[in-house]
Structure 1
Amino acid sequence: MKKYLHIALMLLCVFVVSSCKDDDDDTEAVEREVYKLEQDIAFQAKVNETGFVRWYSEAGDGYVCAKLIEKGNGKQAYFNSRVSVYYKGSLTDGTEFDARLFEDGTPFKCAVSSYYANYSNSNPNGYGSVISGWTVALQHMVEGDKYEVWIPQQLAYGASDNGDIPAYSTLIFEIELVSVDEQAASAS
């Protein structure tokens, strides 16, 4: 943990010193890079905490870290599954940006892989798409499982803002897999 913090602080110092040149007045870019570094540090610190496991992306573009809150014993979710979940999403500073909780009464219906999503204006009862970090996490869950899942920016929204979520944000979700509703035979 201390090793990562020292490396991160050294990188931050190098970045700040190099960004102080007379020809570089873009404070917004500096702030964005500092935020990105802070998010990476927060994610790496969480990865090293006791109880968290790493789940790697099949595409090889990173991993999420997850901690079991409640163990289920139902059906396994797969890449081609369509599922129903309760969740709460927040930023590393604790700001909640989205939620679909048990108290709301209706779980969020989503496809584990966006390839199998079929929600549209003409099919409002279809299954929505999710970010890559959710695809990774859901494939490791069974019905009834509840996990705290940390998703790094490259498996979330990356360099793009999304509503109240700033670019380069590490996202924290509490996800409960309510049901595996179906296995899609093909994209529809």
Structure 2
Amino acid sequence: MKRSIYAVIILMMVMVVGFTACGDDDDNGFSAEQIAYFEKNLEFIREKKVLKGEDGELLYKQVILGGDTALYRVLSKEGEETKYPTSQTSVTMTLKGDFISGQNFQKEMTMVLTPANVVPGLGAILLNNTVGERVEAIIPAYLGYGYYDNRGIPAGSTLVFTYTIEKFN
């Protein structure tokens, strides 16, 4: 009886060691080039998080969502509007999107959207904007299109949106 218990325990230990040794989860199947691209995008965000203006204040405001941080700053503001949208408010805006390299992936165009129907990071930032604001938003991959290629956007891309909110519908 004791031998069979020891045999079961040893078999379980071998299985646990075998399963963990066989796992290749460290890089999730990404190439060294992809991992370097991810790191470059993460470093871009780390640098922007601590960037300060001439007044010594942080240049970018932070919106934390799902354990990650999207950044934004108001570039200019026209008007005195103080109303903010909800997640279901239709927002008319001109928007363009670039990668951190400056390469454009979304030409500037006027569109109508709701914060609930865009990538999570942009949606969360929109909830903090008012009509007349021109905004730069930096969306990390986790709050954008993630770590898989998506319609011409490479896996792990940080997205930089510049937009002006024209009106809420």
Q: 2:70 is matched with which residue: 57, 64, 71? A: 64
Q: 2:63 is matched with which residue: 41, 55, 71? A: 55
Partner of 1:31: 33
Instruction: Quote the Cα distance in structure 1 between the aligned partners of 2:106 and 2:68.
Output: 23
1:148 aligns with 2:148: no
Deviation at 1:28, TM superposition (A): 6.0
- 2:142 counterpart SS class: helix
Whether the 8 Å contact between 1:100 and 1:108 is mirrored in structure 2 is: no
* Aligned-residue identity in percent: 23
Partner of 2:114: 111
Deviation at 1:63, TM superposition (A): 1.9
Partner of 2:165: 177
Deviation at 1:76, TM superposition (A): 1.4
Whether the 8 Å contact between 1:112 and 1:138 is mirrored in structure 2 is: yes
Q: 1:100 is matched with which residue: 97, 101, 108? A: 108
Whether the 8 Å contact between 2:131 and 2:168 is mirrored in structure 1 is: yes
**One-letter amino acid matched to 2:98:** S
- TM-score, length-scaled by structure 1: 0.66
**One-letter amino acid matched to 2:74:** L
Partner of 1:162: 150
Structure 2, unmatched stretches of 5+, are: 1-28, 53-58
Structure 1, unmatched stretches of 5+, are: 1-26, 102-106, 115-129, 182-188
**One-letter amino acid matched to 2:61:** V
RMSD of Structure 2 on Structure 1 (CA):
1.8
- 1:36 counterpart SS class: helix
Instruction: Quote the Cα distance in structure 1 between the aligned partners of 2:148 and 2:45.
Output: 18
Whether the 8 Å contact between 2:97 and 2:108 is mirrored in structure 1 is: no
Whether the 8 Å contact between 2:99 and 2:158 is mirrored in structure 1 is: yes
Instruction: Quote the Cα distance in structure 2 between the aligned partners of 1:94 and 1:174.
Output: 12
Q: Which one has the largest radius of gyration?
A: 2
Determine which structure has greater relative contact order: mean sequence separation of CA pairs < 8 Å that are 6+ residues apart, divided by chain length.
Answer: 1
Instruction: Quote the Cα distance in structure 1 between the aligned partners of 2:167 and 2:73.
Output: 20
1:144-168 alpha-carbon deviations (Å, 9 max, x no partner): 1111111000000111212221100
Instruction: Quote the Cα distance in structure 2 between the aligned partners of 1:178 and 1:47.
Output: 27
1:48-74 alpha-carbon deviations (Å, 9 max, x no partner): 1121111222xx332211111112432
Whether the 8 Å contact between 2:45 and 2:140 is mirrored in structure 1 is: yes
